Chain A
Amino acid sequence: MILSPIKRKKGIIFALDGAIAATIILIMLVNTTYYFTSTSRESLSQTQVIKRGYDVISMFDESGQLDDALRNEKFADLNVYDFLPSGYNMSIDFHDGLRTDCTSSCSLSSGRIKTPLNTLSLTRGGNLHVQVNAKITNAPSGIPALGIGLNTVQYAMTSICASKGINDMDCTYTTTGPVPFPTGITNLNVVSDGSNNFDVNWLKVLDDPSYTFSTRTEAEIPDDQFIGSGERWYAGFDDDTREYFEGMHKVRFRIWLQ
């Protein structure tokens, strides 16, 4: 049977149309099936693990284990494996949880207006807030004020104080604006108002990674094993009675496949 040239052309066009249509449909089917199956198979279960992470961090907060961690500057006996499905791991980062304790020249009497305090080795530097905790050891005169001196500039601080008695007031001071840290800075001056007696307890540079402590021991979490992260706010206190405000913190967790 010999087909006419017109019929031959129609057949080719028809075949080409069919092939293109079949290819497009095939591509769409493969893609959608891929998305559909993978989404339902893996992602939903992984969100459950992330939710478990939120539950764990909330539980640590409610049970006072975050309080303990802040007080001891480390997570002691914190076993996240008890709460996670096997094969998963979780780390918790406590931002601004570490502090630089004042070990010498910590008393600022009315005549002594400043003391140098070494910072930890700042990882990042840049514009950062500074927090200082001090005890006021005399009957307060006015509103006891501290400041931070860096080079020749002094930075004002705001405070939250709690008082247990006329000679027992504990205040946490925070710079009202960020302090521009040059690279390589190792110490700051804590400057008193000159009319009150302060006993400086500690100092920390907020948001610098050197002041974060973590449960993580791995250097890096492999990207293809990482599942998710979440965070929580936490208002920290310095003693068991929760009377002395210590600072606001971010507590973050990460979950990954082992």
Chain B
Amino acid sequence: MASMKSKKGILLTLGLVFVSLTVLSFAGVILNNSETSENRIKEFIETERMYNLDKSISKSISRLNDALGRDVFNASWKNNTISIDALFSNESLKEQNEIRRQLNIFNSRLKESGGYINFTNFPIFGESDVISGGNSNPVTSSRFYLKNSPNMYIEYVAHPYNMIYLNGFNNTNTERINFTYVYGNHMFPFAVEELSGGIPTANCVTSGECVEIYFETRGNAPSISSLFEFDNMGSYTASNTKMYRQHVSDSSWGTYGVDNRTIAFNWLVLAASPTNEKTTKGLAIVLPEKDQAGTFFGSTYYGYAEGTNSLLAETRIELEITLRGDVLKHREGFMSPPVYDIVFPHLETSANDLKVYFEQ
């Protein structure tokens, strides 16, 4: 009899434990569900806030840039062609620096009130993390990646370096580059010259996959077209190489008609690379400079020399890059590298009455 009662007691206890555990596990599920639900709501609001801040910051910077009345750098992509129109002037950097200062001031004001945006660089003419400057001049540039092709980017480097750098454009993805130098009443163009040292063209006929560079020159300079292998440049030489130059002359620089300066086409091998790029090689177009060795790119090149690179007038370089291959399957467009972080907002939430406060 006693053993029967004892068994019933054990069964009852086990039953109670089982029921308790079941109820407890349900409680856990409900609790977890409610926490997850609140977290999702927080994330939803945080995302919304960051999206709006990001969009409004981009728009504000774009408006600021427009307000200066100069289209310093325009890039567009239609069908298989990228068109670039870059303005080079001695003033452009000063103006862009003003935008940077305004953003800095605005940012410092935000910081004083518990700031939530941290500029790691600047979207327009931030400090280049791939090209280092000579002497005391920092290299300020704007970089535009081809959407979905992080190894291909266009970097516009401002005064005093005055350069357009095309990283990752090669035989596989590029068919043709049209180059046009647009000038005013100064710095007149003369002939384009292929430089000794050899532009690799060995496989152009057999593979049919070479990049054609077409120099559409104006004034006294005849237009020329040239084929060469971008892909082979890296194996041909691991260092910077002079490829072409367009002679530019002005009476302010000496005897007119003599090669006072040059628009240089260099094969550039960068020492550093941003995070995602697969290549650090590309075509650098620099204007207008003297032929010299310097520390800007680390070896012999045509490029910046301290104190000799003042432009006599505003000039433009227009590029039309015809693409081919897989890159054409991507969505057309450009994107800038990330230059600011938005800190998660200070949220005050409670499950029954979610409130969203942002600190003033």
Contact = CB atoms under 8 A, between A and B. Distances in A.
Contacts of A232: 52-53, 56
A129 B109 contact: yes
Interface string A17-47: 0100100010011011111101110111011
Contact of A230 (B48, B57, B351): B48
Does more than half of chain B's interface fall in helix, strand or loop, or is it mixed? helix
Interface string B124-139: 0000000000000000
A223 to B, nearest CB: 8
Interface string A35-75: 11011101110110011001001100100000000000000
Interface string B58-86: 01110110111100000000000000000
How big is the B interface, by class? Answer: 35 or more
A28 to B, nearest CB: 4
A89 B38 CA distance: 24
Given A38-B352, A229-B356, A231-B358, A245 B13 contact: no
Interface of A: 14, 18, 21, 25, 28-29, 31-36, 38-40, 42-44, 46-47, 50-51, 54, 57-58, 61, 127, 129, 158-163, 174-176, 178, 206-207, 224, 226-235, 237, 242-245, 248, 252
A39 B69 contact: no
B113 A229 contact: no
Given A50-B356, A61-B56, A35 B31 contact: yes
Contacts of B108: 178
Given A35-B351, A160-B99, A229-B356, A243 B56 contact: no
A46 B68 contact: no
A25 B30 contact: no
**What are the 4 tightest A-B residue pairs by CB atom distance, in nearest-first order?**
A43-B354, A228-B356, A235-B60, A38-B352
Contacts of B113: 207
A159 B94 CA distance: 11
Interface of B: 13, 16, 20, 23-24, 27, 30-31, 33-35, 37-38, 41, 44-45, 48-49, 52-53, 55-57, 59-61, 63-64, 66-69, 98-99, 101-103, 105-106, 108-109, 112-113, 349, 351-358
Nearest to A51: B48
